[in-house]
Amino acid sequence: MGTFFDSIHIRTTKIAEFNDIVTAIAKGRFSYILTTPYQGWISLLLDENGLNLDEESNDICLDLSRRCESLILKTKEYDSDIFFYTCFVDGKIIDSFISHPDYFEPISQEERNKSRGQPESWVNLLDFSVDVNELRQILDLMQSDVLCNTDGTWRFAGLLFLDNVCTNYYMLKETELDPEWITYDCTVTAIY
């Protein structure tokens, strides 16, 4: 069995403001860890309840992107075999990528084309320069199996200065959490 990573990255450094938004959305439905800013990104890691709520419809990310004025990038690695990302802005999904679109079942050529991702549609929204050609090359190599997903995930994260891509809520809970991180347990109040 491979690894399962799931994280949400928000292009902001306003952690207290963003925590208020996440707490309002969580309302006792799920627990989360919100990391301190790293290179202009905050990472949000949801427990199993949050992931189940969000699995198909991305409701949590859509709601977050409606309430804040930041680009949101959800990343996921499934069983060390598939890397996904979904990009949200203003309450809309503006791009998505799947490294192995036929993994679960055969799909049409139209769906396969949609799964390629269009990073050029959102990298210009970032406040730093990204080599979109290099990003496109990484995504293409991941879909062609030339680049294994974990290596591709690290390269994707490195180009965008993302932290906490190769982790999940439970992996972080097992480590000594940074005292500046915000944890919210749906059975108790937020701990600062």
Q: Could you report the per-residue pLDDT of 160-189, keeping only the tens digit for each? A: 999 998 888 888 888 877 777 888 787 544
pTM over 0.85: yes
Domain boundaries, the chain: 5-184
43-47, 57-61, 62-66, 188-192: the lowest-pLDDT one: 188-192
Q: Across all residues in the chain, what is the average pLDDT?
A: 86
Helix (H) or strand (E) holding 110: helix 109-114
Task: Note the pLDDT of residue 130.
Answer: 94
54-58, 88-92, 118-122: the lowest-pLDDT one: 54-58
Task: Note the pLDDT of residue 101.
Answer: 85
Q: What is the dihedral of CA 97, 102, 106, 108, to 10 degrees?
A: 30
Q: Which letter does DSSP use for residue 30 in this model?
A: -
Gyration radius (Cα) of the chain, Å: 16
Q: How confident is the model at residue 53 (pLDDT cuts 50, 70, 90)?
A: low
Q: How many Cβ atoms from other residues are within 10 Å of residue 8's Cβ?
A: 26
Q: Answer yes or no: is pLDDT of 147 > 80.
A: no
Given a contact cutoff of 8 angstroms between Cβ atoms, the answer to whether 50 and 6 are in contact is: no
Q: What is the dihedral of CA 132, 43, 170, 67, to 10 degrees?
A: -110
Give the residue, 5 or 148, on which the prediction is more confident. Answer: 5
